[in-house]
Amino acid sequence: MRIGVPREIKPAERRVGLVPAGVTRLVQEGHEVLVESGAGEGSGFDDDAYAAAGARPATQQEVWEQAELLVKVKEPVAAEHGFLRPDLTLFAYLHLAADRPLTEALVAAGTRAVAFETVRAGRTLPLLQPMSEIAGRLAAQAAAHHLQSNAGGPGILMGGVPGVAAARVVVIGGGAVGTQAALAASGLMADVTVLDASGVRVRELTDLMGHRARVLMSDEHVLAEEIAGADVVIGAVLVPGAAAPKLVRREHLPTLHEHALLVDVAIDQGGCFETSHATTWDEPTFEVDGITHYCVANMPGAVPRTATRALAHATTPYVVRLARGPERALAEDPEFAAGLNVEAGRIRHAGVAAAFPDLPAQAD
């Protein structure tokens, strides 16, 4: 099979879909790999490294037009929609429930689209987890930075000092993002509370966190009570493949601490704060009713050398399986098939179909 790896063109995105070791493995199995010139530079892999691994250097157009399997990190942006076609399998983060234009483009083109974030392995999302862990840690780092006055914040040290209170941090959601955000924030000595709606997860987190954070069973009333007076609220809610629920509404904002910070890590799925909209690394924050919102949509892209390697460890075995034949790979493994979001002009994932009920869909 001919596999293409394009250079990411989303703003401030420097990750790459395959590392040279993955190229070597695919070439050894008899596949041809095309890598766009400069695709790996931001992650520490130059064109010579890919050539030494057996890849053929190519232009953007050659990669997109010649590939049978295209491996990206982030979803195709509008400038790439014209490259979509029916004989292409796309493997990347897609987050379609929050992206109608891309969903429509994939349906119209007939492209087979397999999303990293909905592939399953038991209770886990193995291709989402490494980036969720990074995003969670970055969320705590971003919160600490944006509380500082030089970053436009109120001038609060996350962990306080003896005799001065630490920042109150509320983490909504106890999955991979929320867990790492809570651990990182508690490591900075903040006053941390984690909310989750799963009794099983609350017990697990209680054991994990010990005395480092409070872990509470969440409902609408508890959430409202806990975010009242908070300095930082980190939104880490995920419904795989579906749009994130809007748990913090505009009416909640006046109850937060003056100049509080909302960090919406769920923004790729539309955000879990009613007042959120996606931001970039160039302009990461905005204000609503005096409350600062931080909603960068590709947070792990800021640490591409770490993130690309972590992602490749998880995704490369799946790329190898797709290269042996997408139809067979998905048919033989229902958990891998959970990643199939669009195929042959129809939506195949229930969460995406629910987000766009007017678009053609096909249930499994």
Q: Binding-site residues for substrate, please?
A: 15, 74
Residues making up the annotated binding site for NAD(+) are 132, 196, 201, 218, 237-238, 265-268, 296-299
Residues making up the annotated binding site are 15, 74, 132, 196, 201, 218, 237-238, 265-268, 296-299
- 95 an active-site residue? yes
Q: Which one of the listed residues 31, 95, 146, 293 is annotated catalytic?
A: 95
Tokens of 318: 């799946």
Q: How far apart are CA 209 and CA 192, in angstroms?
A: 10
- 268 an active-site residue? yes
Give ∠ CA 351-357-362 in degrees, rounded to 5. 70
How many other C-beta atoms can be found within 10 angstroms of the C-beta atom of residue 326?
20
Biggest alpha carbon–alpha carbon distance for the chain: 65
Q: How far apart are CA 5 and CA 40, in angstroms?
A: 9
Q: How far apart are the first and last CA of the chain?
A: 27
| 316 contacts 18 by C-beta, under 8 angstroms | yes
Contact partners, residue 231, CB within 8 Å, separation at least 6: 147, 154, 156, 167, 168, 169, 257, 260, 261
Give ∠ CA 131-108-65 in degrees, rounded to 5. 70
**DSSP per position, 194-245:** EEES-HHHHHHHHHHHTTSSEEEE--HHHHHHHHTT-SEEEE----TTSPPP
Contact partners, residue 75, CB within 8 Å, separation at least 6: 10, 92, 93, 94, 95, 96, 99, 102
Pick from 135, 48, 111, 91: nearest CA to 310: 135
Q: Which one of the listed residues 99, 231, 264, 268 is annotated catalytic?
A: 268
Q: How far apart are CA 172 and CA 99, in angstroms?
A: 23
Q: How far apart are CA 71 and CA 94, in angstroms?
A: 12
Catalytic residues: 95, 268
